[in-house]
Amino acid sequence: MQSFTTEQIINKGEAIGFKYNTFNFSIEGKYKSNDALFNHRDIPHFNHLHKNLAGGYGNEGVYYGEVVSFIRYFKFFKMTFPILTLMKDDGENRVLETFSFFIFQFLKLNEEIDIPNKGCRSKITYYIGSKNKFLLNIFTPFFKKMFLKSFDDYKNDDYPYLNRRAKLREKGFSFNKDDISNFTYEDTLNIKKQNCFFNYKDLGEKINDKIQVSLDNLKESEITIFDDFKILSFQIFKDKNVVKVFPLICPHEGGYLGINNKVGIKFTNKDFKESGCKVRCNIHNRRFDPIFDIDLENEKKIYQSNMYNLTIYNNEIIIELRKDIDKNETHDWSI
């Protein structure tokens, strides 16, 4: 298989008479380059994390493998156009998207540059090519404005998620995408696969940590949300004598499961109830049942899940990590 780089594509275009205008946007965060590279390649998240992307029409996957192609919808002069886009790796820490429309050729080069001990700089460069230089110069400001809006979506949606992955890493979590060398676009399709893990060894002496929540502090028929970056992070729903305990960290890719989320498609308390009391991930829309479903009128006071022990005592909920599980194995905290 032969693959052409961004520079080779532009050189070929110039050889047949194309002229190119270019501009770029950049932003820095605490995340790793591998976080951002995975995010670029993760086509399934486009329709959930980015509520404004594609004019509300979403994206349609066409092919997934070592490369991916998908249909993205663009709006021009109040008309909607489906554009077939090809995305592929373009050397180390680079992902290239290519598409065309009318007399224009577009290349979007995503570059992720690690900054030692600080994080990563994400740089997005657009190349717009056409044989008609006059129309190229006339339409370039319009295209720049359109792509600036796309970059704003990146800042408002992707950027917080990437920094969330960095924060989770600080709290003892890791991701299998930390090594992205064997990654293919097809690997993003299974949203049920656990790709985020908790490292017990990094927790050290804090392995005995537990949380205590007074039942009196839980609002009736609402979800109460607690710290969302720790392994002992939960959201608790109370309705009369029923208490449901849900996770806040998605084991798939570390997404946020809390209601009233600020990033992604909004999921409210009303949405939660209408979904049959399931929470959802703001990245891939995966739904979750409660870890614990408790009837306070029941005599049962001790519960156990895949990773936690829960006790009802003195009108309090006490949750702690289980001490009897193999800490060298990976475990799904959401079940």
Backbone phi, then psi, for 329, in 5-degree steps? -100, 160
Q: Counting beta carbons within 10 angstroms of the beta carbon of residue 163, is it exposed (0 to 12), middle (13 to 18) or buried (19 or more)?
A: middle
- Choosing from 188, 210, 236, the residue where a domain stops is 188
What is the reported pLDDT for 208? Answer: 59
* Residue 51 · residue 44 · CB < 8 Å: no
Q: How far apart are CA 247 and CA 238, in angstroms?
A: 15
- State both tokens at 225: 């949300």
In the chain, how many domains are there?
Answer: 2
- State both tokens at 79: 């008309």
Structural domain that includes position 150: 6-188
What is the reported pLDDT for 202? Answer: 63
Identify whether residues 53 and 165 lie together within a single domain.
Answer: yes
What is the reported pLDDT for 174? Answer: 93
* Residue 327 · residue 201 · CB < 8 Å: yes
* Residue 97 · residue 90 · CB < 8 Å: no
Q: Is residue 326 part of a domain?
A: no
* Residue 53 · residue 70 · CB < 8 Å: no
Model pLDDT for residues 281-318, shown as the tens digit of each residue: 999 999 999 999 999 988 899 999 999 999 999 999 99
What is the reported pLDDT for 329? Answer: 86
Q: Counting beta carbons within 10 angstroms of the beta carbon of residue 318, is it exposed (0 to 12), middle (13 to 18) or buried (19 or more)?
A: middle
- Residue 189 identity: L
- Choosing from 188, 211, 233, the residue where a domain stops is 188
What is the reported pLDDT for 62? Answer: 85
Q: What is the CATH number of the domain that holds 111?
A: 3.30.530.20
What is the reported pLDDT for 312? Answer: 94
What is the reported pLDDT for 53? Answer: 63
Nearest to 30 by CA among 116, 106, 105: 116
Identify whether residues 230 and 119 lie together within a single domain.
Answer: no
Q: Is residue 193 part of a domain?
A: no
Q: Identify the segments of the chain with pLDDT beneath 70.
A: 1, 52-58, 76-77, 202-208
- State both tokens at 40: 């670029």
* Residue 165 · residue 46 · CB < 8 Å: no
Q: How far apart are CA 58 and CA 64, in angstroms?
A: 17
Q: Which residues contact 291 (CB under 8 A, 6 or more apart)?
A: 234, 245, 246, 247, 305, 308, 333, 334, 335
What is the reported pLDDT for 27? Answer: 96
In terms of phi and psi (left: phi > 0; alpha: psi -120 to 50; beta: otherwise), the region of 264 is left
Q: Is residue 117 part of a domain?
A: yes
* Residue 224 · residue 236 · CB < 8 Å: yes
Identify whether residues 171 and 31 lie together within a single domain.
Answer: yes
What is the reported pLDDT for 299? Answer: 86
Place of tokens 């979007």: 108
For residue 250, the tally of other CB atoms under 10 A from its CB is 23
- Residue 63 identity: Y
Q: What does the DSSP assignment read for 196-257? A: EEE-HHHHGGGGG-EEEEEGGGSPBTEEEE--SSSTT-EEEEEETTEEEEEESB-TTT--B-
- State both tokens at 283: 């990245």
Identify whether residues 23 and 134 lie together within a single domain.
Answer: yes
Q: Is residue 335 part of a domain?
A: no
Q: What is the CATH number of the domain that holds 231?
A: 2.102.10
Identify whether residues 124 and 184 lie together within a single domain.
Answer: yes
What is the reported pLDDT for 82? Answer: 86
